[in-house]
Chains A and B, each alone.
Chain A
């Protein structure tokens, strides 16, 4: 026969285990959320690695409007815009869009572009074979670059989606990175004083 105190202690230990478990669960929500979003595409995140272009049959019967929006985070001085704001593509067709950036700041900077697709489900069907968002983009002071993004829309795209928007937000990651030395492969000119 247990005494009251033993009974109480046993119960307290069980409840504390639940509390610690729930504290862990709070953190477990982070990877769970990512897995859930990868499977369902609900947060509009696209794949962060290049897709290889499979020779899929181009579905000429459908055409999808894709819109490109660009944005820089507060405190990010770069100019950033899509060369084409809107295009019509057939599912399965490979297309390329250029994005223009210029670093007007007095220092060399590194940027990272984060994509977001809406409606979120469309993110699962947007396959990018090449994107400037896969890597950090360094840019010298005053330099400008034309960065390509090559993609095709999976013909499996649900019938009810005929229009989606891809937004890129440019973040300043200069302080977080250590490879400020590399030059941007897409850089077109360096404005040098005295020339």
Chain B
């Protein structure tokens, strides 16, 4: 009889499993977590809160621009709003949201139990709130926070800024360290943690695009850190990197900044391409058209992004041959991007399409991102850029690629994977309201910006000429509506987190394929502790 107790019964084995799935309780769960799913959730909520904070600043901007003249805020505060809105949306909303999705999904998609470096993962998230508290805190300093635009061009950020620049520099350093740690984690996970049989060309496209994004991040975030460090020493320690009086050159700032800045815009869109490439095949019930060409197109976009930076600087007085080079290199990027759009459309071609929420957002992404891409192509043409430069046309362009591009793709991703995360279907009626309100308002918001931009309305100015008044009224109305529409999303997310709604199957969506759809719904706290076999 005593021998029988030594035998591992199925019951004790089961108990062992339960022990593994024990989820810590309380605040320390979130503070000390090394679980990729917890950290993914933290990133996503943080990004959403920052999206609302940055959005509130956009509301201030639009309220001031509702009518010509100065009504609500002072020009200096207006400038702080445009600056911090940009910084928060880029570094606080879009990038952490993608990192959150990477945390949730990459291990599940490649059959890994967790990220490769779980403790670093905890750090890379938890230094972020500090960075943004510093940045937001700088707004309350005497003389206000940074007001030189998110691009912090010297000498605006050196000679003409106040002491809050030091806080700005410090917070950008921390954001940079956080993204670099996140990127290193993604690269090591994808290289070393893939399940047996998960070969490079079997990896889901979201994993591929994030791998390439992570390489872009470790290549350019250190350059940004260098640029802000130079601004810091120029301002406080008497160096003259960007000061002509001491032998420096302010135009050099723009070269260094955009050497970071242009790859940065691809950092914010390549994971979006990955998401759309996951969603479109599911709801077309077909394999993705041209998988290999998608991978090569992503890599080509990443490589080309390093040789186009000066298209942001056509008006600085470059020689004609350099303007030609940067113009043609920029236009070349539309070739791999066009390949992607073509492949998505070809995937839908003759597919058994259904239009669930993720697919609606994905289709809206394809159409509206392409509009943003086309206005980008217009901006790439050097001679006309002299007219478009620093007008609302540029604002329209990058909001089409970043809001209806990156942000819509993040929403599509949330609507696609949320049932897997919570195990329950979200409130689809609210989701439809969110989609249609967002879609209509975002176009009322950004489309007229093309017209006022072409007519010459400059960006980053709190006042404008009277002839722009009607369009700006509509833009502001669209802005308020888009901002309010996101509260529907907030309500939906709160309901989903309370686990309201119908239970979903493991596969969730009829046409969904991939390892993450083979595990139970909701995804258990620990997955793939023994690696799956990928055929």
Using a CB–CB distance below 8 Å, which chain A residues touch chain B?
Answer: 4, 7-8, 11-12, 15-16, 18-23, 25-27, 29-30, 33, 37, 40, 42-45, 73, 112, 114, 116, 118-121, 169, 171-173, 176
Please report the C-alpha to C-alpha distance between residue A15 and residue B524 in the assembled complex, in whole angstroms: 31
Q: How far is the CB of B323 from chain A (nearest CB, A)?
A: 11
Residue of B nearest to A40 (CB): B319
Q: Give Cα A29–Cα B252 distance, bound, in whole angstroms.
A: 9
**B346 is an interface residue with CB less than 8 A from chain A:** no
- B256–A26 CB distance below 8 A: yes
**A4, A20, A44, A173: the one within 8 Å of B222 (CB):** A20
- Give the chain B neighbours of A114 by CB distance below 8 A: 244-245
Assuming the contacts A8-B116, A12-B184, A33-B255, asked whether A26 and B319 have C-beta atoms less than 8 A apart, the reply is no
* A11-B317 contact in complex given A23-B222, A176-B246, C-beta closer than 8 Å: no
B residues within 8 A CB of A4? 192-193
Q: Which residues of B contact A12 (CB under 8 A)?
A: 117, 184, 188
Query: A19 and B191: CB pair below 8 A?
Result: no
Q: Is the CB of A29 within 8 A of B322?
A: no
**Those 5 A-B pairs whose CB atoms lie nearest each other, nearest first:** A26-B226, A171-B245, A23-B222, A22-B222, A26-B223
Point out the residues of chain A lying under 8 angstroms from B220, CB to CB.
Answer: 22
- Which residues of B have CB within 8 Å of A18? 218-219
Which residue of A is nearest B220, CB measured? A22
CB distance from A78 to the nearest CB of B (A): 13
Residue pair A43, B245 in contact (C-beta under 8 Å): no
Docked Cα-Cα span, A172 to B246, in Å, equals 11
Known contacts A23-B225, A119-B317, A176-B246; A8 and B117 CB within 8 A of each other: yes
User: With A and B bound together, what is the CA distance between A21 and B238 in angstroms?
Assistant: 25
Chain A's closest residue to B184 (CB) is A15
Which B residues form the contact surface with A (CB < 8 A)? 116-117, 180, 184, 187-188, 191-193, 218-227, 230, 238, 241, 244-246, 249, 251-252, 255-256, 259, 317-319, 322
A19 touches B256 (CB 8 A): no
With contacts defined as CB atoms under 8 Å apart, how many contacts are there between chain A and chain B in the complex? Answer: 93
Cβ contact within 8 Å between A73 and B226: no
Other than the given A21-B222, A22-B221, A119-B317, 4 more pairs (CB < 8 A) read A23-B222, A33-B255, A120-B317, A171-B244
**Minimum Cβ distance to chain B for residue A138 (Å):** 15
Which residues of the other chain, B, contact A112 by a CB distance below 8 angstroms? 245
User: A146 to chain B: closest CB distance in Å?
Assistant: 22
Pick the residue among B116, B238, B241 that contacts A30 (CB under 8 A): B241
Tell me the bound Cα distance from A18 to B220 in angstroms. Answer: 10
Query: Which of chain B's residues have a CB closer than 8 A to the CB of A20?
Result: 222
Measured CB to CB, the nearest residue on chain B to A160 is: B320
Q: B249: which A residues are within 8 A, CB to CB?
A: 33, 37, 43, 45
Question: In the assembled complex, how far is the CB of residue B187 from the closest CB belonging to chain A, in whole angstroms?
Answer: 6
Q: Is the CB of B219 within 8 A of A22?
A: yes
Q: How far is the CA of A120 from the CA of B117 in the complex (A)?
A: 50
- Select one of B192, B223, B238, B251 contacting A25, CB under 8 A: B223
Cα A112 to Cα B247 with chains together (Å): 10
| Residues A19 and B180 in contact, CB atoms below 8 Å apart | yes
Closest chain B residue, CB of each to CB of A21: B222
- Cross-chain contact B252 with A169 (CB below 8 angstroms): no
- Contact with A19, one of B192, B193, B218 (Cβ below 8 angstroms): B218
- Closest Cβ of chain A to B306, distance in Å, is 11
Give A189 Cβ to nearest chain B Cβ, in Å: 27
Choose from B184, B225, B251 the contact partner of A43 (Cβ within 8 Å): B251
A38 vs chain B, min Cβ distance (A): 12
- CB contacts (< 8 Å) of B191 on chain A: these are 11
- Complex CA gap A171/B225 in Å reads 29
| B255 contact set on A, CB distance < 8 A | 29, 33
Q: Cβ of B245 and Cβ of A73 under 8 Å apart?
A: yes
- A22 in complex: contacting residue of B192, B218, B230, B245, CB < 8 Å: B218
A116 / chain B contacts, CB cutoff of 8 Å: 244
Q: Which residues of B contact A23 (CB under 8 A)?
A: 222-223, 225-226
Between A and B, 16 residue pairs with Cβ closer than 8 Å are: A11-B188, A18-B218, A19-B180, A22-B221, A23-B223, A23-B225, A26-B226, A26-B227, A29-B255, A29-B259, A33-B252, A43-B249, A43-B252, A114-B244, A118-B317, A120-B318
Q: Contact at A42–B117, with CB atoms within 8 Å?
A: no
Residues of A contacting B223 with CB < 8 Å?
Answer: 22-23, 25-26, 29
Please indicate which of the listed interface residues A16, A26, A42, A43 has the most CB atoms of chain B within 10 Å of its own CB.
A26
Q: Is B222's CB under 8 angstroms from A11's CB?
A: no
Q: How near does chain A come to B279, taking the closest CB pair, in angstroms?
A: 30
- Compute how far the CA of A119 lies from the CA of B219 in the bound complex, rounded to whole angstroms: 33
Name A169's closest neighbour in chain B (CB-CB): B244
